Structure 1
Amino acid sequence: METERLTLRPIGRSDEDSLRALHADPEVMRYLDPAPVENYLGDGFHAAVEKATGRFAGWFEFKGTTEVELGYRLHRAFWGLGYATEGGKALIERGFTAGDVQRVVATTMFVNAGSRRVMEKCGLRHVRTFHADFPDPLPGTEYGEVEYALTKEEWQRAQGERHVADGIS
């Protein structure tokens, strides 16, 4: 799958070193618990490769059937460039138009303002703030986790409104 600036493809064994390097960055992992690289090699995980350079930018998760979890993790060099939003929107569009997806959900720590902003730019809306018990809580856990979501109906309505605003019928 391609976006304007990214190629999204299934993560494979050849990406293991790139995944380890991404997950070794303490700033990238600031709001995340580490998990074995093998966890990202299954269905629903996509390597994000910058088309212009061929560099591994990070990964996207789009996993589920009718309810799909959206996730993303990018190298710091790709932060603030709109890549997370670009990849997220593309996966959402494909899920709603070519798949059986009825609802997209995403969660993050309340204090992760950057990730929350990406969710909002992708069209997801805040559903709830909740507190979960973690055996080894990260700093900021005391403020809770947030869930964002977008239904297919909401997405279709927004697409129609965008076309009207753009003068497209």
Structure 2
Amino acid sequence: MSEPLPPRHVRLRTDRLVLRRFTPADLPAVTALCGDPEVMRYIDDGRPVPPDRVADELLPSLLRAYADLPDGLGCWALEAGGRFLGWAALHPPSSVGLEPERRPDHLELGYRLRPAARGLGYATEAATALVGAAFGERPGTERVVATTMTVNTASRRVLERAGLRHVRTFSVDWPDPIPGSEHGDVVYALTRAEWAGGTRRPAADTR
């Protein structure tokens, strides 16, 4: 039986998920996630992240962010029944194409999910919970934004189910384009007013 997580390590709980802080012990899980070609198909250069880069750069940056970012922001491990499913993130806007949204009252949503965990509603559940936390816990948040490739229809459906809507398509002259990049990327967004006026899903238990 696994030891219960310290309360400060749990970001929030939903009906099926626990979103918790990463720890150094998560290195094998993060390496497998980011080393999966299917996971990385629409991310960055479309290539799996080498294990040494995960160990030396990626995971340490995720861990530092808990201290560097305001409380409640960062990248969180997704678990269901103790099984690692991937991650979900909420942080200040950083993606290419979000220049108009790089404001202190905007937050960016993101996630990565293992292929075996897809199609079961986990991504939507996690994204919806973080959108609720963005507006429900942080009075200064006025907009939640997200980006993905135009051809990434599965990710676009997740964003739509979480309440975001397509607001813009943009193109970037990538130095190493991947298949589908010729169709551009999309920005999705949800404002506080839209969130408050819509039909909310059941609230998650936060921290």
The alignment's TM-score, normalised by the length of structure 2, stands at: 0.73
Q: How many residues align?
A: 160
Q: In the alignment, does 2:33 pair up with 1:22?
A: yes
- Residue 123 of structure 1 deviates from its aligned partner by 0.4
Q: In the alignment, does 2:191 pair up with 1:151?
A: yes
Which amino acid counterpart does residue 172 of structure 2 have in structure 1?
A
Q: In the alignment, does 2:119 pair up with 1:89?
A: no
Partners of 2:15 and 2:141 lie apart in 1 by 23
Partners of 1:14 and 1:134 lie apart in 2 by 34
- The gaps in structure 1 that reach 5 residues or longer are 163-169
Q: The residue matched to 2:190 in structure 1 has which SS? A: strand
Which amino acid counterpart does residue 18 of structure 1 have in structure 2?
A
Partners of 2:42 and 2:62 lie apart in 1 by 17
Partners of 1:18 and 1:153 lie apart in 2 by 38
- The gaps in structure 2 that reach 5 residues or longer are 1-11, 67-73, 93-103, 202-207
Q: The residue matched to 1:91 in structure 2 has which SS? A: helix
- Residue 22 of structure 1 deviates from its aligned partner by 0.5
Identity %: 50
Which amino acid counterpart does residue 165 of structure 2 have in structure 1?
R
- Residue 72 of structure 1 deviates from its aligned partner by 0.5
Partners of 2:87 and 2:105 lie apart in 1 by 21
Partners of 1:16 and 1:153 lie apart in 2 by 39
Partner of residue 71, structure 1: 110
Deviates more, 1:40-49 or 1:19-28: 40-49
- Residue 24 of structure 1 deviates from its aligned partner by 1.1
Q: In the alignment, does 2:160 pair up with 1:120?
A: yes
Partners of 2:42 and 2:130 lie apart in 1 by 23
- Residue 12 of structure 1 deviates from its aligned partner by 2.4
- Residue 66 of structure 1 deviates from its aligned partner by 2.1
Partners of 1:81 and 1:121 lie apart in 2 by 13
Partner of residue 4, structure 2: none
Q: Which has the higher contact order (CA 8 A, sep 6+)?
A: 2
- Residue 95 of structure 1 deviates from its aligned partner by 1.3
Q: The residue matched to 1:31 in structure 2 has which SS? A: coil
Partners of 1:103 and 1:14 lie apart in 2 by 34
Partner of residue 48, structure 1: 78
Partners of 2:14 and 2:105 lie apart in 1 by 23
Q: The residue matched to 1:101 in structure 2 has which SS? A: coil
Partner of residue 60, structure 1: 88
- Residue 102 of structure 1 deviates from its aligned partner by 1.2
Partners of 1:40 and 1:115 lie apart in 2 by 22
- Residue 159 of structure 1 deviates from its aligned partner by 3.2
Partners of 1:21 and 1:109 lie apart in 2 by 23
